[in-house]
Chain A
């Protein structure tokens, strides 16, 4: 077992890639879908194996036999493995959901669409698994380019413009990242992230390094849709086909947050940030901006998916709030919320897609009375939105609890109060839809029932996600354990 274990770190990236290429050759869309689900599932199993194995120590894997720090290294530690498990789970569920959910794509091109979804999964898995900064850029661009394609195939023509805007902004973000890495490479001479952490210690306050870090953080904030740089997100999530929105909301932004945390805490170190930058003030301002603006704008949205997109902006604000507090509980809360929000938001998009497929619309006004027509689906929406609000017993509660606790520990009582009050905003915007779905009977006649019932795979995805939400919320040790191990790793030494 020990001899095969390191190979899993590269297999979890190569298996989706291999699956993507085979899907592109197969013409039959059903066979391509089965292949895609199988390869995503294999990748998920590799990630779970790594999650279990990483307790014995860091898994370091030299690609091509060339030893680090000269060669490219895939380095999986407890932080990495945690994120790998999340994104492979969301990827697997999104591809499972996608079978009859992409009516926008013509049937002869559907196998290419699954290929693109698998390529996006390859990109994000590679971003999470690698330990080399330039290799990370390559995987970042693989994920980004395939996500531009995934978004552009939406039903309305606005999807094309949303994809174009995301392309421009995302490429600027990736180029900022590469400028940052360029400055760091010139200053230290290495591209390996672990080696960078060692070599950067004596020169942390020199101007090239600070400039590089500035560019790097800005570029990654663009990719993670952190508050002022989030403008691409609402259009992209609104107009993309539903499986693509679910995949992107659960993986792409979360991996960008992972890399941000890896560079901020892993390379620079928590003590450096709290001292030098003004980091706390800036991050708290942006987090509060994200939470307030995201939640308030979400309240006024008429379209279900656009509301979920603005809600995503707000939830990323909670995550960065935990990061700003930079203590162990804050980081634990952020990491728990990364998983919690990733799973919950993917589930909410699945439900929105099911309602779109069966009832023909995703405008909240058109979905009046949906609760009586599709009781199980809207029931899972209720459970998932309770998780988004943060009800105890669901996974959304855990993250917010730890972040509020960390705020109290830090001495900022007002932040904890804000976290609690703004969760009520989520109740408002989620509650609007639930009220419309159950207690409004105006549109009974106008609601179109499309011919095909909801396919079994869509229902299965929704059920699995809802079950995960509740299970992780009740059996809390599963998540808290791993998140705390990752947070301790980040707060600890420079690795």
Chain B
């Protein structure tokens, strides 16, 4: 592909930018809730990764109608519904853990946490 064609794949650029932003937040931030938010952004970019190629060029909505031969792919939407639910469950569990950690330690910053517990026992 030529350089200008690569630059025009705006959808895929967006996917990569959002993915790396989310991943960066997970890796660098110390606050536990911010990590969970970064994880959510990271997972959202993956939803894009499935749905964007699902649209077939020249395809119509995937409902059988006379006169149309090319349909868009309905499967990625189903897969992403499942992935969204999994993401919500992970977020809920993560937040519940953060609440308990806050009650147990009094802080949700990871570098403060490592000073307060008995880690090398």
Residue B89 interfacial (CB < 8 Å): yes
A145 interfacial contact with B, CB 8 Å: yes
- Which residue on chain B has the smallest CB distance to residue A146? B93
Structural contact, B26 and A168, CB atoms closer than 8 A: yes
Give the contacting residue for B119; candidates A141, A158, A168, A172; CB below 8 A: A158
**For the complex, is B79 an interface residue (Cβ under 8 Å from A)?**
yes
Contact A145 B89 (CB under 8 A): yes
Considering only CB atoms, which chain B residue lies closest to A70 in the complex?
A: B75
Convert B35-65 into 0s and 1s, putting 1 for each residue whose CB lies closer than 8 angstroms to a CB of A.
1100100110010011001000000000000
Tally of contacts, chain A with chain B, CB under 8 A: 74
Interface of A, secondary structure class, is helix
What mask results when residues 175 to 195 of chain A are scored 1 for a CB within 8 Å of chain B, else 0? Answer: 100110010011000000000
Q: A450 vs B53: C-alpha distance in the bound complex, in angstroms?
A: 62
**A238 and chain B: residue at smallest CB distance:** B121
Does A160 lie within 8 Å of B101, measured CB to CB?
yes
Q: For the complex formed, measure the closest distance between the CB of B43 and the CB atoms of chain A, giving whole angstroms.
A: 6
Residues of B within 8 A of A137 (CB): 83, 86
Q: Does B98 contact A (CB under 8 A)?
A: yes
> What is the CA–CA distance of A178 and B50 in the complex, to the nearest angstrom?
9
Is B74 at the interface (CB under 8 A from chain A)? Answer: no
Given the known interface contacts A160-B97, A171-B90, the answer about A178 and B118 at a Cβ–Cβ threshold of 8 Å is no
B93 touching A149, Cβ below 8 Å:
yes
In contact, A179 and B49 (Cβ under 8 angstroms): yes
> How many residues does chain A have at the interface if contact means C-beta atoms less than 8 Å apart?
30
CB < 8 Å: which of A134, A141, A152, A306 contacts B90? A141
Tell me, in angstroms, the Cα distance from A152 to B93 when the chains sit together: 10
- Given known pairs A161-B113, A179-B46, the reply for A167 and B93 (CB within 8 Å) is yes
Q: In whole angstroms, what is the CA distance A175 to B49 when docked?
A: 11
Q: Report the Cα distance A145→B88, complex, angstroms.
A: 11
A138 near B86 (CB under 8 angstroms)?
yes
Partner of A134, one of B79, B98, B101: B79
Give the CA-CA distance A156 to B23 in the complex, in Å.
Answer: 30
A464 smallest CB distance to B (angstroms): 30
Q: Contacting A178 at CB < 8 Å: which of B36, B83, B93, B104? A: B83
Residue B13 is within 8 A (CB to CB) of chain A in the complex: no
Within 8 A of B (CB), among A274-311: 302-303, 306
**CB of B100 closer than 8 Å to a CB of A:** yes
Q: Does A148 contact B (CB under 8 A)?
A: yes
Determine if B43 and A157 form an interchain contact, defined as CB atoms under 8 angstroms apart.
Answer: no
Which B residues between 76 and 121 are near A, CB-CB below 8 angstroms?
79, 82-83, 86, 89-90, 93-94, 97-98, 100-101, 104-105, 113, 117-119, 121
Distance in angstroms from A106 CB to nearest chain B CB is 14
Closest to B97 in A: A164
A363 beta carbon closer than 8 Å to chain B: yes
How many angstroms from the CA of A156 to the CA of B107 in the assembled complex? 16
Contact of B32 with A by CB under 8 A: yes
Q: Which of B19, B94, B121 contacts A167 (CB 8 A)?
A: B94
List residues of chain B with CB within 8 A of the CB of A363: 121
Q: Nearest Cβ distance between residue A356 and chain B, in whole angstroms?
A: 13
Task: Please tell me if A163 contacts chain B, counting CB pairs below 8 Å.
Answer: yes
Cβ contacts under 8 Å, B86 to chain A:
137-138, 141
Q: Which one, A145, A158, A164, A185, contacts B118 given CB within 8 A?
A: A158
Q: Residues of A contacting B94 with CB < 8 Å?
A: 164, 167-168
Q: Tell whether A145 pairs with B32 under 8 Å between CB atoms, given A164-B97, A302-B121.
A: no
CB < 8 Å: which of A134, A152, A168, A302 contacts B100?
A152
Q: Report yes or no: A160 in contact with B100, Cβ–Cβ below 8 A.
A: yes
Question: Whole-angstrom distance between the alpha carbons of A179 and B19 in the complex?
Answer: 10
A157-B105, A161-B113, A179-B46 given as contacts; is B82 within 8 A of A134 (CB)?
A: yes
Chain A hits for B26, CB < 8 A = 168, 172
Q: With A141-B90, A171-B39 known to touch, is A158 a contact of B117 (CB < 8 Å)?
A: yes
Contacts of B113 in A (CB 8 A): 161
**Which residue of B19, B39, B46, B101 contacts A168 across the interface (Cβ within 8 Å)?**
B39
**Are the CB atoms of B121 and A161 closer together than 8 Å?**
no
List 14 A-B pairs, Cβ < 8 Å.
A134-B79, A145-B90, A156-B117, A157-B101, A158-B118, A158-B119, A167-B93, A171-B43, A172-B26, A178-B46, A178-B83, A182-B49, A302-B121, A303-B121
9 further A-B contacts with Cβ under 8 Å, apart from A145-B90, A158-B118, A163-B97, are A148-B93, A156-B118, A161-B117, A164-B101, A168-B26, A168-B94, A172-B42, A175-B42, A175-B46
* 8 tightest Cβ-Cβ pairs between the two chains A and B: A157-B104, A141-B86, A164-B97, A186-B53, A182-B49, A158-B117, A160-B101, A160-B100
